[in-house]
Amino acid sequence: MTTPQLILIAGPYRSGTGGDPALIAANLARLEEASAPIFRAGHVPMIGEWVALPVLRELEAVGEVGDADVMYETAARLLRHCDAVLRLPGESSGADTDVRIARERGLPVYTAVEQIPGYVAP
């Protein structure tokens, strides 16, 4: 058994959607698909939007901030606690920033769930 890691799943969320809620939801679903293999491998999956979206809703309700500020800042704060990043395919400046921060911190960056220690095929 490997030591459990907190793994940030990074990939497109809004990129390429033109703001279409259905396409954004499809991108989130793709991010979430990676959570089960990470969990099965003995780790804890984390997606920045799981944390950022409720915060964003509350802050926007009182007119405090724009969404990019919350989304990027949440990911940056999460990366202080994460042990690794799984970078899923697709253009995403936010995910690219997550990878850059992870590498600066010396964290592993996986590009496929099969690379994650303890991975077991379903």
In this prediction, residue 1 has a pLDDT band, given cuts at 50, 70 and 90, of: low
Q: How far is CA 66 from the centre of its chain?
A: 19
| Per-residue model confidence as pLDDT tens digits over 23-58 | 999 999 999 999 999 999 999 999 999 999 999 888
In this prediction, residue 62 has a pLDDT band, given cuts at 50, 70 and 90, of: confident
Nearest to 13 by CA among 70, 80, 83: 70
Domains of the chain are: 6-115 (3.40.50.10400)
- Interior angle at CA 36, CA 95 and CA 55, nearest 5: 50
Alpha helix (H) ranges present in the chain? 21-33, 35-40, 48-61, 67-78, 93-104
| CA 55 vs CA 59, 66, 69, 75, 105: distances in Å | 6, 11, 11, 12, 25
What's the pLDDT at 78? 95
Task: Answer yes or no: is pLDDT of 17 > 60.
Answer: yes
